[in-house]
């Protein structure tokens, strides 16, 4: 246990800790930019420099282990000068038109400049303008704002195993870009958006649909309805100044009404429906000797990855559409018919924790009618936060309200779709009871919960016991796929989510989603589940009514036409 | 004044013929090493007090000891032959003229640290050294000095040549390692150091050509005798690349402790037309620039600590008093702006601004504020950059701010007169 001093305060550090870790444990703030919890230390930005008394050079706090007797200063004049100079240098090669930036007032570089009191940059701005990369539906990449911290490269390469982004050129011409300086849509980008989530500035963001949606809301001819994904209710609060893991379902519904949506529905409803279709598809594959293991297909980042990198695996994917797209298909058919509105005038907006959902909504396979997309616009959790602020809604103090019928009646099984393992657990609740024809003694499948990269469980259906697995992050998905390809996969059913932690850790979630925050959101979502009376998809009365009135039964002809899709090599 | 060890056998030696090296007792030190306990070899090197000739002057035995202690059995030896520092050409000289001496040094180091695979990373532009080293490896193999079960000792060692695509930063050890791994030349964060986690994640001993070339001599004369050459803190000889305005530019081998002035006057023959020396840059583009009155400084690692440039006088670049200091500084700065790998902020973004500020001086357009900014930027780059490149890029500016400060003020106050150093 090394004893050190930081800013004249004597501290017992733990063996092997870096200066930054010790400082954090003792509530001493050291600014960082390239450093991000859960990612490898880069030590690139040099903002966290500290002074070690007796050493000529300054030391990066993020990568310097403390040693017995070290005397550290984190706020000396030398340290301050260094941080200030480095920040000025970053700003000198950065688009500093802050008021024209999506992350104005929510930017790590801007905050740093403010903290360090940079009122005038001593260095000329040398930025050379680069074209904006936004010819895809999901992600906007603005190189003019990039500070080359490398977080996006790390997350794309090491967490997702894709490596679309890397450094290009050198010296002050250094860029972070897809290979050969091309655009994201030329590459095997899955649009998972993890890069956007870790970006400290607004160099990578979602491609915003905020203006489009606002326009639709104010268009009198449109009946604008909205669906909210499971994960948004435990994360939206963070964008509006609340703690991570705050459950804000009722407030979100109320705020969406104040913003001007005509009806507020819940994607949890179609999550329950997904379980009905996907669960029965699994049973039919097992019974009829179909392709196993079956793999979930509700995550659009994962579907993109499968289509791009593993096209030989596509017949393992469930044909069931994602809850977002099932909602869209029903909104423009069943709902439009029921409400007697021209489907072309029904405008469907979804609130998603996800950037890839924007791409999913734009797929032509996802279009029931020729003239109109099933889902017209997708907003991320972050965009909704902005929309609520812009509309002058006092979110923290707004009263809770309930979703509209019929797509507002939901179960806890639908809610847990938001966490890794949730789709699997929801499916197991339903499939077990349907096959075994008796109620489960325990609804909680603890084995498939939590942040472990690949989890497994077994379930007994009738006389057979099946093994199932849950993988999150695309590098873990690839491991599971490699086993299938090698013929050694023991599983019948696999859930895959592209983002770490599942949708609660999605690319459209509030900025700076660390694993610690992911866990808080996961805890919250299971609390939502346990607080509900209905906790099994097949017991959702509105789902059952839908089958009675419209779809007749799972996997029916109409269900196939509206709720199932196909995949292709991309 | 010269004392020849590493260059002793070069006159008249055919570098393309291993027999020429064997004739001067070549490979005898390695054969002796094969009969010695590895730790005793490291002990001998410790006694010799040999320090790395690549720039950081790190005691060689400490790196070797750190390697020898690793649990991991796959270990690598790398010879850094990416001599890209402007003004340095002594490693090229050693490779072109005595390639087997280098191979023998690497073999000794590999045996002492139980590494079985080595790489010589030769600067991409060095066509001739690459060819000569390739031939040397071939002939060493044919003579049973490389390969499996060398000389029946049970020791295996294989050697490969790799080269970069001309990037200066690949002379930095981690950028070099990345380059061998097939990645672009960008440094890594330390710790871990290469002897812990180096090439392909394995313990790696990396030293430069001159350092390895010393090992056969240490083994043949014994560490203690070697330590008697040179000075207390800097033992042995130093190969010095002398260039610029001198009558006889070239590579000279002198014992540590010789004054720089003597090297310039006696070996270099003084300036060409007896012009007055204005500035001398030591160790290369990344080294300090000193005035004429400091030339009695001796070549010694520790004497150079003041400049945070331990390279000592690996290079001596002589400039007469007619040169515009800001022209020199601007060129140096442009060089680093071109060669920065772009990984860390101060080096990536700093060099371009240093060059812009120096250009203001060059164009007689600078103010006192520019001077303050230049000084502050240089200090921050020096103190905060991730690797040696960024840390030493401002050395020329920082040293001239110290020894030629008046030249800066002259240029600010009397722009019309120009500012000769």
Q: What is the pLDDT of residues A128-161, one digit of tens each?
A: 999 999 999 999 999 999 999 999 999 999 999 9
The answer to whether the Cβ–Cβ distance between B380 and A170 falls below 8 Å is no
- Chain B partners of A65 at a C-beta cutoff of 8 Å? 191
From A162's Cα to the closest Cα of chain B, the distance in A is 16
A520 is catalytic: no
Of residues B295, B356, B296, B304, the one with CA closest to residue B326: B356
Residue B193 tokens, joined: 């150091």
Interface check A17 vs B, CB under 8 A: no
Domains in chain B, CATH or no CATH each: 18-227 (3.40.50.11540), 237-320 (3.10.20.600), 325-413 (1.20.1440.230)
From B187's Cα to the closest Cα of chain A, the distance in A is 10
Predicted confidence at residue B311, as pLDDT, reads: 59
A360 is catalytic: yes
A441 is catalytic: no
pLDDT in tens, chain A (570 residues): 899 999 999 999 999 999 999 999 999 999 999 999 999 999 999 999 999 999 999 999 999 999 999 999 999 999 999 999 999 999 999 999 999 999 999 999 999 999 999 999 999 999 999 999 999 999 999 999 999 999 999 999 999 999 999 999 999 999 999 988 899 999 899 999 999 999 999 999 999 999 999 999 999 999 999 999 999 999 999 999 999 999 999 999 999 999 999 999 999 999 999 999 999 999 999 999 999 999 999 999 999 999 999 999 999 999 999 999 999 999 999 999 999 999 999 999 999 999 999 999 999 999 999 999 999 999 999 999 999 999 999 999 999 999 999 999 999 999 999 999 999 999 999 999 999 999 999 999 999 999 999 999 999 988 999 999 999 999 999 999 999 999 999 999 999 999 999 999 999 999 999 999 999 999 999 999 999 999 999 999 999 999 999 999 999 999 999 999 999 998
Residues 6+ apart with CB under 8 A from A213: A224, A349, A377, A379, A387
Helix (H, G, I), strand (E, B) or coil at A218: coil
Predicted confidence at residue B309, as pLDDT, reads: 61
Distance CA(A205)–CA(B404), nearest Å, equals 49
A454's torsion region: left (phi>0), alpha (psi -120 to 50) or beta?
beta
Distance CA(A500)–CA(A160), nearest Å, equals 9
Count Cβ atoms within 10 A of the Cβ of residue A163 and give its class: 0-12 exposed, 13-18 middle, 19 or more buried: middle
Concatenate the DSSP letters of all residues of A124-181 into one string: ---------B--SSSEEE-GGG-----HHHHIIIIISS---EEEES-GGG-EEEEGGG
- Chain A partners of B193 at a C-beta cutoff of 8 Å? none
Q: Is the dihedral of CA A38, A39, A42, A47 positive or negative?
A: negative
Show which of residues 444-463 on chain A sit within 8 Å of chain B, judged by CB atoms.
Answer: none
Contact assessment for residue A260 and residue A349, using Cβ atoms and an 8 Å cutoff? no
Could you say which DSSP state residue B218 is in?
H
Distance CA(A393)–CA(B79), nearest Å, equals 66
- Chain B partners of A92 at a C-beta cutoff of 8 Å? 349, 353
The answer to whether the Cβ–Cβ distance between A86 and B346 falls below 8 Å is yes
Using CB atoms, pick whichever of B169, B191, B384 lies closest to residue A82. B384
A292's torsion region: left (phi>0), alpha (psi -120 to 50) or beta?
beta
pLDDT in tens, chain B (421 residues): 899 999 999 999 999 999 999 999 999 999 999 999 999 999 999 999 999 998 788 999 999 999 999 999 999 999 999 999 999 999 999 999 999 999 999 999 999 999 999 999 999 999 999 999 999 999 999 999 999 999 999 999 999 999 988 899 999 999 999 999 999 999 999 889 999 999 999 999 999 999 999 999 999 999 999 999 999 999 999 999 999 999 999 999 999 999 999 999 999 999 998 899 999 999 999 999 999 999 999 998 887 776 666 555 589 999 999 999 999 999 999 999 999 999 999 999 999 999 999 999 999 999 999 999 999 999 999 999 999 999 999 999 999 999 999 999 999 998 766 544 4
The answer to whether the Cβ–Cβ distance between B341 and A171 falls below 8 Å is yes
Q: Where are the beta strands (DSSP E) in A327-401?
A: 346-352, 377-380
Interface check B352 vs A, CB under 8 A: yes
Locate tokens 């989530």: which residue? A197
The answer to whether the Cβ–Cβ distance between A167 and B350 falls below 8 Å is no
The answer to whether the Cβ–Cβ distance between A148 and B184 falls below 8 Å is no
Residues 6+ apart with CB under 8 A from B402: none
Concatenate the DSSP letters of all residues of A433-444 into one string: HHHH-S--S---
Best of A19, A44, A53 to mutate (most B CBs within 10 Å, chain B): A44
Using CB atoms, pick whichever of A43, A49, A172 lies closest to residue B349. A172
A365 is catalytic: yes
Distance CA(A387)–CA(A259), nearest Å, equals 8
From B377's Cα to the closest Cα of chain A, the distance in A is 7
ipTM of the complex: 0.93
Of residues A316, A391, A330, the one with CA closest to residue A546: A330
The answer to whether the Cβ–Cβ distance between B384 and A170 falls below 8 Å is no
Distance CA(B319)–CA(B324), nearest Å, equals 10
Residue B196 tokens, joined: 């812990």
From B232's Cα to the closest Cα of chain A, the distance in A is 24
The answer to whether the Cβ–Cβ distance between B380 and A86 falls below 8 Å is yes
Helical segments of B289-324, H only: none
Locate tokens 């800066």: which residue? B408
Interface check A63 vs B, CB under 8 A: yes
**Catalytic-labelled residue, pool A102, A281, A307, A425:** A281
Predicted confidence at residue A181, as pLDDT, reads: 85
Distance CA(A8)–CA(A553), nearest Å, equals 72
* End-to-end CA gap in chain A: 54
Distances, alpha carbon A19 to alpha carbons A7, A52, A70, A514, B345, in Å: 12, 10, 10, 20, 20
Using CB atoms, pick whichever of A42, A43, A123 lies closest to residue B353. A123
Could you say which DSSP state residue A55 is in?
-
Predicted confidence at residue B419, as pLDDT, reads: 46
Residue A544 tokens, joined: 């059952």
Interface check A121 vs B, CB under 8 A: no
- Chain A partners of B346 at a C-beta cutoff of 8 Å? 46, 85-86, 89
């Amino acid at each position: 246990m090394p004893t050190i001093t930081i800013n004249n305060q004597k501290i017992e550090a733990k063996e092997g800790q870096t200066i930054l870790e010790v400082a954090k444990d003792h509530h001493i703030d050291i600014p960082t930019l390239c450093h991000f919890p859960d990612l490898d230390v880069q030590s690139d930005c040099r903002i966290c420099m500290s002074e070690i008394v007796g050493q000529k050079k300054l030391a990066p706090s993020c990568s310097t282990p403390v040693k017995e007797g070290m005397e550290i200063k984190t706020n000396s004049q030398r340290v301050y000068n260094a941080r200030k100079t480095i920040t000025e240098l970053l700003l000198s090669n950065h688009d500093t038109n802050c008021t024209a930036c999506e992350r104005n007032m929510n930017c790590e570089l801007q905050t740093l400049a403010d903290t360090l009191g940079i009122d005038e940059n001593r260095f000329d701005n040398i930025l050379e303008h680069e074209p904006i990369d936004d010819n895809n539906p999901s992600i906007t990449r603005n190189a003019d704002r990039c500070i080359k911290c490398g977080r996006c490269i790390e997350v794309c390469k090491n967490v997702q195993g894709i490596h679309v982004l890397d450094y290009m050129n050198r010296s002050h011409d250094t860029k972070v870009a897809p290979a050969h300086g091309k655009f994201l849509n030329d590459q095997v980008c899955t649009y998972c958006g993890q890069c956007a989530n870790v970006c400290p500035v607004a160099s990578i963001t979602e491609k915003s649909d905020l203006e489009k949606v606002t326009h639709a809301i104010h268009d009198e001819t449109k009946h604008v309805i909205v669906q909210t994904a499971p994960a948004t209710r435990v994360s939206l609060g963070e964008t509006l100044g609340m703690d991570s893991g705050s459950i804000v379902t009722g407030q979100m519904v109320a705020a969406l009404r104040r913003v001007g949506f005509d009806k507020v529905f819940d994607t949890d409803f179609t999550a329950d429906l997904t379980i009905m279709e996907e669960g029965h598809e699994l049973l039919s594959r097992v019974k009829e000797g179909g392709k196993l293991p079956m793999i979930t297909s509700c995550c659009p980042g994962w579907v993109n990855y499968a289509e791009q990198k593993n096209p030989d695996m596509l017949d393992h994917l469930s044909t069931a559409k994602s809850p977002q797209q099932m909602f869209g298909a029903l909104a423009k058919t069943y709902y439009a018919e029921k409400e007697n509105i021209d489907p072309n005038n029904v405008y469907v907006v979804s609130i998603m924790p996800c950037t890839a959902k924007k791409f999913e909504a734009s797929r032509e396979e996802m279009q029931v009618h020729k003239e109109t997309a099933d889902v017209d616009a997708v907003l991320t959790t972050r965009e909704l936060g902005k929309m609520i602020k812009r509309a002058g809604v006092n979110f923290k103090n707004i009263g809770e309200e309930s979703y509209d019928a019929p797509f507002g009646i939901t179960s806890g099984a639908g809610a847990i779709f938001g966490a890794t393992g949730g789709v699997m657990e929801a499916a197991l609740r339903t499939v077990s009871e349907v096959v075994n024809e008796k109620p489960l003694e325990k609804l909680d499948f603890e084995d498939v919960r939590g942040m472990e990269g690949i989890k497994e469980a077994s379930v007994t259906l009738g006389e057979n016991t099946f093994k199932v697995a849950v993988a999150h992050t695309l590098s873990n998905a690839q491991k599971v796929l490699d086993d299938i390809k090698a013929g050694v996969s023991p599983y019948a059913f696999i859930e895959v989510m592209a983002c770490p932690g599942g949708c609660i850790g999605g690319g459209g979630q509030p900025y700076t989603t660390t694993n610690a925050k992911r866990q808080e959101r996961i805890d919250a979502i299971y609390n939502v589940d346990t607080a509900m009376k209905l906790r099994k998809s097949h017991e959702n009365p509105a789902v059952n009514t839908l089958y009675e009135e419209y779809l007749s039964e799972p996997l029916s002809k109409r269900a196939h036409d509206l709720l199932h899709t196909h995949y292709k090599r991309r | 004044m010269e004392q020849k060890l590493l260059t002793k056998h070069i006159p008249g030696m055919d570098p393309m013929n291993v027999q020429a090296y064997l004739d001067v007792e070549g490979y005898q030190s390695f054969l002796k090493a094969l009969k010695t306990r590895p730790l005793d070899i490291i002990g001998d090197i410790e006694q010799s007090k040999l320090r790395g000739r690549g720039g950081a002057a790190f005691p060689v035995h400490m790196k070797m000891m750190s390697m020898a202690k690793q649990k991991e059995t796959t270990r690598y030896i790398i010879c850094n032959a990416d001599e890209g520092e402007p003004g340095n050409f002594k490693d090229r000289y050693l490779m072109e003229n005595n390639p087997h001496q280098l191979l023998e040094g690497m073999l000794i180091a590999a045996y002492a640290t139980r590494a079985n695979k080595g790489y010589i990373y030769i600067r991409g532009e060095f066509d001739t050294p690459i060819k000569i080293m390739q031939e040397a490896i071939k002939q060493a193999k044919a003579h049973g000095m490389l390969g499996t079960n060398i000389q029946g000792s049970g020791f295996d060692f294989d050697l490969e040549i790799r080269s970069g695509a001309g990037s200066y930063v690949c002379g930095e050890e981690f950028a070099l390692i990345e380059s061998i791994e097939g990645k672009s030349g960008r440094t890594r964060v330390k710790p871990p150091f290469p002897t812990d986690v180096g090439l392909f994640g394995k313990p790696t001993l990396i030293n430069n050509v001159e350092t390895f070339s010393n090992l056969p001599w240490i083994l043949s004369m014994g560490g203690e005798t070697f330590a008697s050459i040179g000075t207390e803190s800097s033992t042995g000889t130093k190969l010095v690349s002398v260039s610029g305005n001198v009558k006889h530019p070239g590579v000279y081998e002198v014992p540590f402790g010789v004054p720089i002035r003597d090297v310039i006057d006696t070996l270099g023959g003084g300036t060409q037309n007896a012009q007055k020396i204005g500035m001398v840059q030591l160790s290369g583009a990344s080294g300090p620039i000193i005035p004429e009155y400091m030339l009695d400084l001796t070549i010694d690692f520790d004497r150079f600590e003041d400049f945070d440039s331990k390279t000592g006088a690996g290079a001596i670049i002589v400039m007469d008093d007619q040169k515009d200091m800001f022209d020199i500084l601007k060129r140096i700065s442009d060089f680093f702006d071109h060669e920065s790998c772009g990984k860390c902020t101060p080096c990536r973004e700093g060099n371009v601004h240093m060059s812009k500020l120096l250009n203001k001086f060059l164009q007689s357009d600078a103010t006192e504020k520019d001077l303050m900014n230049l000084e502050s930027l240089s200090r921050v780059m020096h103190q905060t950059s991730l690797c040696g490149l960024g840390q030493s890029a401002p050395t020329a500016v920082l040293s001239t701010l110290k020894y030629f400060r008046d030249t800066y003020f002259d240029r600010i106050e009397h722009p019309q007169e120009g500012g000769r150093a």
